[in-house]
Amino acid sequence: MSQGDRGPDVGITDTASRDTASGDVASRDVASRDVASKGEVHVVHLYPREMSIYGDLGNTRTILVRLRRHGYTPVLHDHHPGGQFPSRAHLVLGGGGQDSGQARVQEDLEVIAPRLRELADAGTPMLMICGMYQLFGNAFVTVDGTRLPGLGILDVTTQGNPRRMIGPVVLRTDVGDVVGYENHSGATTLGPGQAAFGTVRSGFGNNGADQTEGARTRNVVGSYLHGPILPANPRLADALLAGAVPLATGAAFAPEALDDSIADEARTRQIRRLVG
């Protein structure tokens, strides 16, 4: 991990921690940086308690840290079941979870569905991993036959299976080769006309059969890739930021030159190891 290992504890306004002593420290730090800030970007993490397994919290940390390094002021909103969805949302993140975690958030997801659909239609970047990817589709039928209806933002349908798809993955995508790690029982099928996020070079992907991985509609990306995916693939992180910044500030994303050499080297080695 090159960026995600520093955690959202320094220089980041975190609405969840504002009431605590450490939140005060974080806010003061942000205030001192605001002079040079290119603007606030509001990031929503959906269900961090129920849906953040296999290190997917690292995606949120990466987004917050990269925003700050690019000169913006990140504001994190953790959205929990029963909570009020934040009024400002420029980028939305969701992670993986067990079938039981998915069942726990499903009711709330129905409540916030109109807002998420509106944001998706307006081009808001979203990254949904594994369990949340499945719930952004039409439905997930678990291995024991329970049907969890999804949002239908992505035209995909998922069927749970006794055989899990587990292992490292390499994809070809619009942002270059992407590496990660998958662990899912659900086999996902794309609807007619639904674009995949990537093409599988190594691994199972959506279903182990058709070489597709994930799905993409406008700026909404669903993928099975843990790792977590963003620190290992900073170009994907910056592609999400390039979509979020204009919504937040009205101006194009103006990135700084960041040193991603460690992430790039790790990814290159993994690709060489898996596909030669």
Kindly list the catalytic residues: 130, 226
Q: Which stretch binds ligand GLN (CB under 6 A): 98-106, 119-127, 189-197, 204-212?
A: 98-106
**CB of 185 or CB of 212, closer to ligand GLN:** 185
Given candidates 48, 97, 180, 227, which one binds ligand GLN under the rule CB under 6 A? 97
State which residue has the least CB distance to ligand GLN: 96
Given candidates 94, 131, 150, 227, which one binds ligand GLN under the rule CB under 6 A? 131
* 227 is a site residue for ligand GLN (CB under 6 A): no
* 180 is a site residue for ligand GLN (CB under 6 A): no
| Minimum separation from the CB atom of position 228 to ligand GLN (A) | 12
Tell me the three state secondary structure of residue 260.
coil
What's at 61, amino acid-wise? R
Given candidates 48, 96, 125, 198, which one binds ligand GLN under the rule CB under 6 A? 96
Q: 25, 10 in Cβ contact below 8 A? A: no
Identify the helix (H) or strand (E) that includes residue 266: helix 261-275
Report the alpha-carbon distance of residue 228 to residue 49 in Å, rounded: 16
Q: For the chain, first and last CA: distance in Å?
A: 22
| φ, ψ of residue 251 in degrees (nearest 5) | -120, 155
| Minimum separation from the CB atom of position 192 to ligand GLN (A) | 23
Query: Site mask, ligand GLN, residues 181-200, x = CB under 6 A?
Result: --xxxx--------------
* 99 is a site residue for ligand GLN (CB under 6 A): yes
Strand (E) positions, 86-205? 91-94, 126-129, 139-141, 147-149, 156-173, 176-190, 198-202
For 167, 170, 209, the CA distances from 202, given in Å and listed in that order, are: 9, 5, 12
Given candidates 75, 89, 127, 130, which one binds ligand GLN under the rule CB under 6 A? 130
Binding site for ligand GLN (CB under 6 A): 96-99, 102, 130-131, 160, 183-186
